[in-house]
Amino acid sequence: MTGQNLSARVALVAGASRGIGAAVALTLAEAGAAVAVNYRERAGDADAVVARINANGGRAIAVAADVSQAAAVARLVDQVASALGPVDILVNNAGVAIVRGVDDLTEDDFDRTIAVNLKSAFLCTQAVLPAMRARKWGRIVNISSGAARGAGAIGVHYNASKAGMEGLTRGYAARLVKEGITVNAVAPSLIETDMMGGRTDLARNIPLGRMGQAEEVAQAVAMVLGNGYMTGQTIVLNGGMAFI
């Protein structure tokens, strides 16, 4: 539950077919927002999220787009505006986690990770800004990771993409704050999703004694959306870990 009314708002959640993105989409819909569920390949999963929202009396659509490509993002935002209205809330959740050691990391691995995890946030943000500026209101939340600050378990390319996302967050926040647009990040570590590949053994590293749930990340996103004074900040969700 978000504790707020988003019934007049349209939300676009990038990478929302499963995991954290799906939980965010469901949470925002529960608060009354019309939600665009973006996906790249998992049409069935995205349709299932939309069906759950519609079954609960909400309004949602599934929209396919590779958000690492500028032309695809432009079409995505146009489709959302036509079907639901201009985007008020953007959650940049699209991501890829290619596990590589330092000696195994290739240039293609690095480029793909930066494109999907970081460039997509830039492209989607740029695409929704005109409409947000026109209404003097907008909320942008970037889904980062504890890997932006700690060593992480995926690889240096992933570290770089998430650290860049938090830099992007602060940069946009400083430049958009006077236009009624806030930009924040939520940085979860060790959340029990498909991306973690069932690595529940990693819970031993967490002082709380368990991995986080996607719904808990969604709660943090909802909290950020409801706070018009907070901008340029990163909310860390890690079960008590200093670094991971």
Instruction: Kindly name the residue from 39, 158, 172, 229 that is annotated as catalytic.
Output: 158
Secondary structure class of 88 (helix, strand, coil):
coil
Judge contact between 182 and 138, C-beta under 8 A.
yes
Average pLDDT, stretch 95-111?
A: 95
CATH number at residue 210: 3.40.50.720
216 within some domain: yes
Q: What is the helix (H) or strand (E) element at residue 44, kind and residue range?
A: helix 43-55
1 within some domain: no
Judge contact between 90 and 134, C-beta under 8 A.
no
242 within some domain: no
Using CA atoms, how far apart are residues 31 and 101, in angstroms rounded to an integer?
Answer: 41
163 lies in which domain range?
A: 10-237
Predicted TM-score (pTM) of the model is 0.92
2 within some domain: no
- With a cut of 90, say whether residue 115 has pLDDT above it: yes
Task: Provide the number of structural domains found in the chain.
Answer: 1
In which band, very low, low, confident or very high, does the pLDDT at 1 lie, cut at 50, 70 and 90? very low
Among 172, 152, 173, 174, which residue's Cα sits nearest to residue 162? 152
- With a cut of 60, say whether residue 120 has pLDDT above it: yes
Sign of the CA dihedral running 123, 126, 130, 133: positive
Query: CB under 8 Å to 175, separation ≥6 — which residues?
Result: none
Using CA atoms, how far apart are residues 78 and 91, in angstroms rounded to an integer?
Answer: 17
Give residue 197's pLDDT: 54
Judge contact between 145 and 188, C-beta under 8 A.
yes
Question: Residue ranges of the alpha helices (H) in 115-155?
Answer: 120-135
Sign of the CA dihedral running 135, 136, 139, 144: positive
In which band, very low, low, confident or very high, does the pLDDT at 203 lie, cut at 50, 70 and 90? low
Give residue 3's pLDDT: 57
172 has catalytic annotation: no
Angle at 233 between CA 68 and CA 65, to 5 degrees: 15
The mean of the pLDDT values for the chain is 92
210 within some domain: yes
243 within some domain: no
4 within some domain: no
244 within some domain: no
Looking only at Cα atoms, what is the longest distance across the chain?
51
